Amino acid sequence: MSFSKLLDLLTGRDGGTAVDWDAKYGTDTRSTVELHGLTIDHDSRRFGERYQASDPSVLSDAVAFIGLDPRFYRFVDLGCGKGRMLIVAAELGFKSCIGVEFADELAQTAKTNVAAAGFDSISIVHGDAGAYAFQDQPFVLYLFNPFGKQIMARVRDNLARLRRAEYYVIYKNPRERRIFDEMPTLHYLGTPPAHKGAWGAHVWASRGG
């Protein structure tokens, strides 16, 4: 079996025909949730975007585009919502997967979904993405338009504290992409062919990466 076929099977995309990804684990990651009405005990709530799930193929295609071996990387999803991409990352074989989510209800749903999926490599941090401290170890940062530039600037500052980490940024619908374009420690790699355009997935690598 080819590597791309294996990726298709693992991520619920078989020969271009979308299958019901949630049905595999009995999760509900598909439905969109507006933030008003959710319990969010952080000042950053006004900069947050609503919950909407990424298509699983975004990550598998970006991993193939970069050509990285997930077994040697941690996966970090800032604004992980219901945890879909954490499960996709675990399926792909990332060494460990961490999701940060500030809405109580979504963080709880993510924990339930991750437990249902049965991967022990995943952990959920219930908190503000702007406060997440990256570690100096290889990682992939995943962002799907989670928040505005005020919080993204904090993420940038936290990345800039790293001394030697090799990392990649995968940013879908990158409304604040300028922040990463202007980071001297990053260079832009481009987009996976199936995810081009302003709403697509864009990839940066650390200079060592």
Ligand X SMILES: C[S@@+](CC[C@H](N)C(=O)[O-])C[C@H]1O[C@@H](n2cnc3c(N)ncnc32)[C@H](O)[C@@H]1O
Q: Which residues bind ligand X (CB under 6 A)?
A: 35, 44, 48-49, 51-54, 77, 79-81, 84-85, 100-103, 106, 128-130, 144-147, 151
The nearer residue to ligand X, 44 or 112, going by C-beta atoms, is 44
Closest separation between CB of residue 141 and ligand X, Å? Answer: 11
> CA dist 33 to 38, 44, 121, 203, Å?
9, 17, 26, 26
The nearer residue to ligand X, 79 or 209, going by C-beta atoms, is 79
What's the full length of the chain, in residues? 209
The nearer residue to ligand X, 144 or 168, going by C-beta atoms, is 144
Token pair 């049965």 in the structure block, residue: 118
Closest separation between CB of residue 164 and ligand X, Å? Answer: 26
The nearer residue to ligand X, 33 or 189, going by C-beta atoms, is 33
Closest separation between CB of residue 207 and ligand X, Å? Answer: 26
Residue 200's H or E segment, with its range, is: none
Do 74 and 98 contact (CB within 8 A), yes or no? yes
Q: How far apart are CA 131 and CA 200, in angstroms?
A: 26
Nearest C-alpha neighbor of 51 from the set 144, 159, 120, 148 = 144
Closest separation between CB of residue 183 and ligand X, Å? Answer: 19
